[in-house]
Amino acid sequence: MGNFAAVLEKEKLVLVDFFAEWCGPCKMMAPVLKDLKTKIGEKATILKLDVDKNPQAASVYQIQGVPTLILFKEGKMVWRQSGVVSAQQLQQVIEKNLA
């Protein structure tokens, strides 16, 4: 988890997708995040974090359902939503937090 915290502190904007391999909606998020990455380029870092392999991180951020997406700005949580989110909505959230 130390490496994860370091990335959150270092990068300006980090979108974290808390997911699980067995989760159907999580699988739906994969192409959405890929599409988002092509749209936003280097404006934000996108990380995927498997809650089953990282229970400590899931506990720290009180992840109760997957997928849960959290946007961090300079290490602080600025936006959070559970469930499938469209690339367009994610892009708007990121653009809004770039200012």
Report how far residue 14's alpha carbon sits from residue 76's, in angstroms, rounded to the nearest whole number. 10
Cis, peptide link before residue 25, omega less than 30° from 0: no
Using only C-alpha atoms, the chain has a radius of gyration, in whole angstroms, of: 12
Q: Is 12 a catalytic residue?
A: no
Q: Is 23 a catalytic residue?
A: yes
Choice among 23, 46, 47, 84 that is catalytic: 23
Choice among 26, 66, 69, 90 that is catalytic: 26
Tell how far CA 98 is from the center of its chain: 15
What residues are annotated to the active site? 23, 26
